[in-house]
Amino acid sequence: MGDEITAKKSSALNRLKTVRGHLDGIIRMVESDAYCVDVMKQISAVQSSLERVNRVMLHNHLETCFSAAVLDGRGQAAIEELIDAVKFTPALTGPHAQLGGGAVGEPAVGELTDTSAV
């Protein structure tokens, strides 16, 4: 289990370092008056990378700290803490979030879709 945690930590750190480099590039773009739409696209790419890191961190937290809290009888407190941590994370809580395992943008199991516009 220790190797898996180390791999997740390494993955998160590598992604964050990549984001840091990407942000430096965006700053240079703004400083050099790059086309706004190009800057916006790069910002979206960074946001997407940060969302991926956040999912890695969430997965790690659920497997380690959260599980330990539940086993120690502190499950409700752990749930409240986790809800508080993710409530401002649109990728996890937004209108298209699929906490049940589906990909973002895919209808949830049992969700009705309006086909009248097709």
Domain count of the fold of the chain: 1
Q: pLDDT above 90 covers what percent of the chain? A: 58
pLDDT digits (tens, 9 = 90+) for 20-48: 999 999 999 999 999 999 999 999 999 99
Which structural domain range is residue 20 located in?
2-93
Listed residue (78, 81, 80) closest to 70, CA to CA: 78
**C-alpha span between 53 and 49 (Å, rounded):** 6
Angle among Cα 59, 8, 69 to the nearest 5 degrees reads 45
pLDDT digits (tens, 9 = 90+) for 84-93: 998 888 777 7
Assess if residue 23 is contained within a domain.
yes
What CATH number did the domain enclosing 47 receive? 1.20.58.1000
Which distant-in-sequence residues (6+ apart) come within 8 Å of 10 by Cβ? none
DSSP secondary structure code for residue 100 in this structure: T
Write the single-letter amino acid at 107.
P
Q: pLDDT above 70 covers what percent of the chain? A: 75
pTM of the model: 0.69
Assess if residue 114 is contained within a domain.
no
